[in-house]
Amino acid sequence: MGTEHSKNEERRSMVFLRKGPKLPAWEDALLAGREPKSLLKRGLRYVSLSLIMKGMTSTPDFLWGLHEVQKLNLSRNQLVVIPPSLGKLDRLVVLNLGGNCLKCLPKEIGLLRNLKVLFVNMNCLKEVPAELSLCRKLEVLSLSHNCISQLPLSFTDLTSLRKLNLSNNRFVQIPLCIFALRSLDFLHLGSNKLENIAESIQYLVNLQIFIVENNNIRSLPRSLCYVSTLELLNVDYNAIQTLPDDLYLLRRLRRIAWNPMDKGLHIAHNPLTRPLPEVVEGGLDVLFNYLRDKKEHN
**DSSP helix/strand/coil, 203:** helix
Mean pLDDT of 266-283: 96
pLDDT at residue 294, as a whole number: 87
Q: How far apart are CA 161 and CA 150, in angstroms?
A: 17
pLDDT in tens, 47-62: 999 999 999 999 999 9
CB atoms within 10 A of CB 253: 21
Residue 7 pLDDT > 60, yes or no? no
Q: Please, are residues 96 and 122 in contact by the beta-carbon 8 Å criterion? A: no
When computed from its CA atoms, the radius of gyration of the chain, rounded to whole angstroms, is 26
Residue 35: Cβ within 10 Å count: 9
Q: Which CATH class is domain 36-297?
A: alpha beta
Tell me the CB-side half-sphere exposure of residue 107, using CA atoms within 13 A.
3
Own/partner contacts of 106-110, CB < 8 Å, gap of 24 or more, are 106/82, 107/131, 108/84, 109/82, 109/135, 110/134, 110/135
Q: Taking the mean position of all CA atoms in its chain, how far away is CA 231? A: 21
How far apart CA 56 and CA 79 sit, in angstroms, is: 6
| pTM for this model (two decimals) | 0.90
Dist. CA 211–CA 191, nearest whole Å: 10
Contact indicator for 175, 152 with CB cutoff of 8 Å: no
Residue 13 binned pLDDT confidence (cut-offs 50, 70, 90): very low
Question: How many angstroms from the chain centroid is the CA of residue 287?
Answer: 34
The average pLDDT across 194-208 equals 98
**In the β-sheet with 264-266, what is the strand arrangement from edge to edge?**
41-42, 47-50, 71-73, 94-96, 117-119, 140-142, 163-165, 186-188, 209-211, 232-234, 264-266
Q: What is the pLDDT of residues 20-74, one digit of tens each?
A: 455 556 676 778 778 889 899 999 899 999 999 999 999 999 999 999 999 999 9
| C-alpha to C-alpha distance for 73 and 60, rounded to whole angstroms | 13
What does residue 32 show for φ and ψ, rounded to 5 degrees?
Answer: 50, 45
Q: How far apart are CA 163 and CA 139, in angstroms?
A: 6
Share of the chain above pLDDT 90, in %: 84
Asked if 112 and 90 count as a contact pair (C-beta separation under 8 A), the reply is yes
Count of all residues that appear for the chain in the document: 298
pLDDT, one tens digit per residue, over 205-216 is 999 999 999 999
Would you say residue 140 has pLDDT above 80? yes
Can you tell me the distance from the alpha carbon of 85 to that of 243, in angstroms, rounded to the nearest whole number?
A: 51
